Amino acid sequence: MDIKKLAQESIAAKEFAYTPYSHFRVGAALLTKDGGIYRGCNIENAAYTPTNCAERTAFFKAVSEGKKEFTAIAINGDANDYLYPCGVCRQVMAEFCDPETFQVILVNTPDDFKIFTLEELLPGAFTKQDITKATGKEL
């Protein structure tokens, strides 16, 4: 999968963003290990806190359809700059992705992006391995 294509998908994913409060649209394109792409957009709410970020929308769509292995996510916001995922979304990524290899691609334009590993963005994340260590239970 070429990065430019995933970057374009993240921009296209903003189309259905539901943002009557912030007017700030975010799109994400999540690449599965088997080459599928799940798009996500942010979905806001009058009560504010139920708002779902684009990144989590993409993850939850994929997981709800049985996908649990991912290689990369591209993210694009309306800011004309790189948009870094929030802490909650980083933690959701850590649940499903290998921190050393999963690529987080911050898209400014299809030709202008920055790539980080998840480990760089959320070093030492708390994961199910920590629970296994503490309880001896394989999860």
Ligand X SMILES: O=c1ccn([C@H]2C[C@H](O)[C@@H](CO)O2)c(=O)[nH]1
Does the protein bind ligand X through residue 79 (CB under 6 A)?
no
Binder among 6, 28, 41, 53 for Zn ion (CB under 5 A): 53
> Whose Cβ is closer to ligand X: residue 77's or residue 99's?
77
Pick between residue 4 and residue 51 the one whose CB is nearest to Zn ion: 51
17-56 positions binding ligand X, by CB under 6 A: 19, 22, 24, 26, 42, 44, 51, 53-55
Q: Is 115 in the site for ligand X (CB under 6 A)?
A: no
Q: Does 26 bind Zn ion (CB under 5 A)?
A: no
Is 55 labeled as catalytic in the residue annotation? yes
Contact 20, 85 (CB under 8 A): no
Q: Which range in 28-36, 48-56, 110-118, 130-138 contacts Zn ion by CB under 5 A?
A: 48-56
Task: Note whether 85 binds ligand X by CB under 6 A.
Answer: yes
Q: From CA 41, how far away is CA 18, in angstroms rounded?
A: 8
Secondary structure (H, E, C), the chain? CCHHHHHHHHHHHHHHCECCCCCCCEEEEEEECCCCEEEEECECCCCCCCCECHHHHHHHHHHHCCCCCEEEEEEEECCCCCCCCCHHHHHHHHHHCCCCCCEEEEEEECCEEEEEEHHHHCCCCCCHHHHHHHHCCCC
Catalytic residue IDs: 55
The footprint of ligand X (CB under 6 A) covers 19, 22, 24, 26, 42, 44, 51, 53-55, 83, 85-86, 89
